[in-house]
């Protein structure tokens, strides 16, 4: 059985991954790992819940890794779009700084 603490942490982890908060993802993944480890260690040896928690944690990390790959690809596409569009922005006229108006 998955504890409510793990469920809450998984929700926070998915939200951090979706908003591209990479430092938060790292912090939450580490916290979730430690919490899952503590939960598994508290169970008696041979308990089937150990496999359940381990499988649930692996699935969560796999989904989070996929979300992070998508976010990274999205960031890359945005940066490429910006550099592409900058080619078409008007450059300031360099002559304007040297032109003096005679009044």
Mean pLDDT on 31-53: 92
Q: What is the pLDDT of residue 15?
A: 93
Judge contact between 68 and 18, C-beta under 8 A: no
Q: Tell me the pTM.
A: 0.72
Residue 4: band (very low, low, confident or very high) from pLDDT cuts 50, 70, 90: very high
Given pLDDT bands bounded at 50, 70 and 90, which one contains residue 96?
A: low
Closest listed residue to residue 28, CA positions, set 12, 40, 15, 6:
12
Mean pLDDT score, 12-21: 92
């Amino acid at each position: 059985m998955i504890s409510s603490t793990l469920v809450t942490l998984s929700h926070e982890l998915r939200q951090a991954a979706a908003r591209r908060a990479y430092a938060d993802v790292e912090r939450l993944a580490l916290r979730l790992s430690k919490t899952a480890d503590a939960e598994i260690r508290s169970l008696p040896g041979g308990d089937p819940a150990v496999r359940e928690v381990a499988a649930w944690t692996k699935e969560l990390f796999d989904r989070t890794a996929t979300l992070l790959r998508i976010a990274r690809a999205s960031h890359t596409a945005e940066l490429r779009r910006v550099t592409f569009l900058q080619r078409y922005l008007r450059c300031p006229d360099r002559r304007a700084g040297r032109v003096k108006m005679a009044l």
